[in-house]
Amino acid sequence: MPDVFANITSVPDDMLEIIANVLETRAAIPSQQEMLRDYLSEITFPENAEVLEVGCGTGPACRVMVDWPNVAKVVGVDPSPVLLTKARELSRDIAGIEFEEGDGKSLRFDDASFDVVIVHTILTHVPEPEAILAEAYRVLKPGGSLGLCDGDFSTATLQTGPNDPLEACTGAFVEGFVNDKWLVRRMSTLTQAAGFEVQPIRSYGLIETIAPGLTMSWVDRGADALLAQGRIGSELAEALKAEGRRRAETGSFFGYMAYAALIAVKPT
pLDDT for 1 = 44
pLDDT at residue 253, rounded to an integer: 98
Tell me the CA distances in angstroms from 10 to 7, 16, 51, 190, 228, one per residue in order: 6, 10, 28, 28, 17
pLDDT of amino acid 11: 73
Q: Which pLDDT value is given to residue 80?
A: 93
pTM for the structure as a whole: 0.93
- Residue ranges and CATH numbers for the domains of the chain are 4-265 (3.40.50.150)
Which pLDDT belongs to residue 105? Answer: 95
How high is the mean pLDDT in each 10-residue block of the chain (268 residues)?
A: 62 83 92 96 97 97 98 97 95 96 96 98 94 98 98 98 97 94 97 98 96 95 96 98 98 98 97
Between strands 114-120 and 140-157, the pairing is parallel
